Amino acid sequence: MKTLAYRLPALLLLVLALLAPSAFAQSVQIAPVVSYRSGGSFSLPTTGLVVRPDSDMALGGTVDISFKPTWRLELAYSRQQTKIDGPYGGRLGVNVENYFIGLQEELGAELDTKTRPFGTILVGMTRFVPDFPANERTNPAAGLALGFKYLPSKHVGLRLEGRGVMTFTPATGDALCGGGVCYLNYSGSTFWQWEFSAGAIIGF
């Protein structure tokens, strides 16, 4: 899985290079976003008790690159700092990071309308990075987003979005371990989270 984490940035650069001649000749939208994220659960290895990461704010951004009148390539990143109950009491900090590449349809872009509904299909990975001394974990992920953009001009706008993210975890289980102790164990096939986000669009 670490190999995937190292290869994904190179893959994204390759896709951008292939699309660059047409994409950058048209338009690019950059949007820093703030989100409210919730959902997902872990099981504690000592008791089997299921705990959920706190619902919390996430920060990130998107880059949307047009390659057809209503179609865009999207690169998306977000990071949530959250806490969960530890196996021996207390609270443990975990950062949940999403790295995605996606295909987005932006309705109304061909007519240059101000309000544009959009939908995005995303694939990438989720990283679990603990604040405590333990190994980080990386798992493949997919997402679906729906929202709209309000663009009073070609260079500035507003983006509102709802997104669901599904992270695939090994059926045999996976864990955050360090110093000979496994703090968290999660098993099954998926880890779900949802978020609502808002951002300012800068277009050029």
List the domain boundaries for the chain. Answer: 2-8+28-203
Class in CATH terms, 2-8+28-203: mainly beta
Q: What is the mean pLDDT of residues 170-196?
A: 70
**4-48 per-position pLDDT tens digit:** 544 555 555 455 545 544 444 448 999 999 999 998 776 655 555
Is the model's pLDDT at 204 over the cut of 70?
yes
CA 150, CA 73: separation in Å to the nearest integer?
19
Give the predicted TM-score (pTM) of the model: 0.80
- Which of the pair, 88 or 167, is modelled with greater confidence? 167
What's the confidence (pLDDT) of residue 171? 59
Cα angle at 80 between 33 and 141, to 5 degrees? 90
CA 53, CA 203: separation in Å to the nearest integer?
35
Please, what sign has the CA dihedral across residues 45, 94, 6, 98? positive
Is the model's pLDDT at 183 over the cut of 70?
no
